[in-house]
Amino acid sequence: MEVGIIGATGYSGLELIRLLKNHPQVTNIMLYSSSQSGETINRLYPHLQNEQWKPLKEIDLNKISAEIDVMFLATPPGVSAEWSGPLLEAGLSVIDLSGDLRLTDRGVYEKWYKRPSAKEGLIEQAIYGLSEWNKSTIKTAKLIANPGCFPTAALLALIPLIQAGAIERDSIVIDAKSGTSGAGKSPTSMTHFSETNENFKIYQVASHKHTPEIEQQLAKWGAQPPLSFQPHLVPMVRGIMATIYAKAAKPLSNEWLTDCYNSAYENAPFVRIKENGTFPATKHVFGSNYCDIGFCYDERTGRVIVASVIDNLMKGAAGQAVQNFNLMHGFDETAGLEAVPMYP
């Protein structure tokens, strides 16, 4: 199968290259760019030095279906809204890693993203690519809205509890922590080494655009918005932990929680449920597509506390995109994603 990437020079794009390069079903990778056409990726990124890459090229919609079967979009806001439609019409499947097509309510998109939304017909076609929970629709999809990094960590932890009616729906607090790679490759003061190392920051207080994405998905499983979602920046490159607090709707136990999670994910190759009394750390999933989930019922407070970790560039972006690519094409769900986490 031949695949293309738009946005290959960003961090999610680089991660797609890393995964697809060794994917057993991918025979060719084409890199597309309008602004950097003619450039070669291994000149921009020396870690790719000895790979043979054709230069980045502009998209020609008349020829694209002869070149590739699937296009991955690892692009800033707005690009997917513009290109997904024409690419679908050209006969390609599209996997969009951006946030353009995730929110079904266009007004919500415009409020949180502060920019015009994609046009109406397009959004309706997009399947939300949370692999573990939308598997059947993903398998037949032509257009995937790949989930955001924070929503992936939060939803995998919350859906089993919501589905079971185990928590009070207006009590959910998601305190999230991310490495800097989620902020992308553009140098800024926020991610300048001298001001980021030995520093822990809170950002976008009560205003992060992944909030409505989480709320929209949870609403499908019965939780009423709104909830509190709050991100922080950790002085590390990769990894997200979401620590989730919610009031139990009834007396629970750690055993009940263990059963709840194990049954929810018994057939999910990338979700690992921690044994009672043990908890995940981001490094346990570094470089892999795993989501590790640990939890505790705190009798004192009547709260469930859940910690969910992912590698934000993997399960939080490129890894899940490849997982969806596998599901869409009937490949083994883990194809190209078998790497053992790198530790230490």
- Contact in structure between 240 and 230 (CB atoms under 8 Å): no
Nearest to 315 by CA among 93, 129, 81: 129
Nearest to 181 by CA among 238, 99, 97, 234: 238
Work out the burial of residue 70: count CB atoms within 10 Å of its CB; fewer than 13 is exposed, 13-18 middle, 19 or more buried: buried
Q: Any idea how long the chain is?
A: 344
Q: Should residue 23 be labelled a site residue for a second copy when binding is judged by CB under 8 A?
A: no
Whichever of 55 and 200 has its CB closer to a second copy, that residue is 200
Whichever of 81 and 309 has its CB closer to a second copy, that residue is 309
Residues 219-278 that bind a second copy (CB under 8 A): 226-228, 230, 232, 234-239, 241, 243, 245, 269, 272, 274, 278
- Shortest Å distance, C-beta 109 to a second copy: 16
Cite the active site residues: 149
Nearest to 290 by CA among 237, 235, 342: 342
Among 49, 52, 62, 140, binds a second copy (CB under 8 A): 49
- Shortest Å distance, C-beta 90 to a second copy: 29
- Shortest Å distance, C-beta 211 to a second copy: 8
Q: What is the DSSP letter of 220?
A: H
Q: Should residue 205 be labelled a site residue for a second copy when binding is judged by CB under 8 A?
A: yes
For 233, phi then psi, to 5°, come to -110, 120
- Shortest Å distance, C-beta 25 to a second copy: 15
Per-residue binding string, a second copy, 169-198, x by CB under 8 A, is: --x-x-x-x-xxx-x-x-xxx-xxxxxxxx
Among 48, 81, 123, 161, binds a second copy (CB under 8 A): 48
Q: Which amino acid is at 175?
A: D
Among 203, 222, 250, 267, binds a second copy (CB under 8 A): 203
Beta-carbon-side half-sphere exposure of residue 198 (alpha carbons within 13 Å): 1
Q: Should residue 1 be labelled a site residue for a second copy when binding is judged by CB under 8 A?
A: no
- Shortest Å distance, C-beta 78 to a second copy: 23
H or E stretch covering 72: strand 70-73
Residues 284-303 that bind a second copy (CB under 8 A): 284-288, 290, 292, 294, 296, 298, 300-301, 303
Among 3, 5, 8, 17, binds a second copy (CB under 8 A): 17
As a whole number of angstroms, the distance between CA 330 and CA 325 comes to: 9
Q: Should residue 342 be labelled a site residue for a second copy when binding is judged by CB under 8 A?
A: yes
Size of the site for a second copy (CB under 8 A): 86
Per-residue binding string, a second copy, 306-325, x by CB under 8 A, is: -x-x----------------
- Label residue 335 left, alpha or beta by phi (over 0 means left) and psi (-120 to 50 means alpha): beta
Among 5, 9, 11, 320, binds a second copy (CB under 8 A): 11
Alpha carbon distances (Å) from 111 to 31, 81, 219, 229: 32, 16, 19, 16
Whichever of 124 and 275 has its CB closer to a second copy, that residue is 275
Contacts of 324 (CB under 8 A, 6+ apart): 95, 129, 131, 138, 141, 144, 146
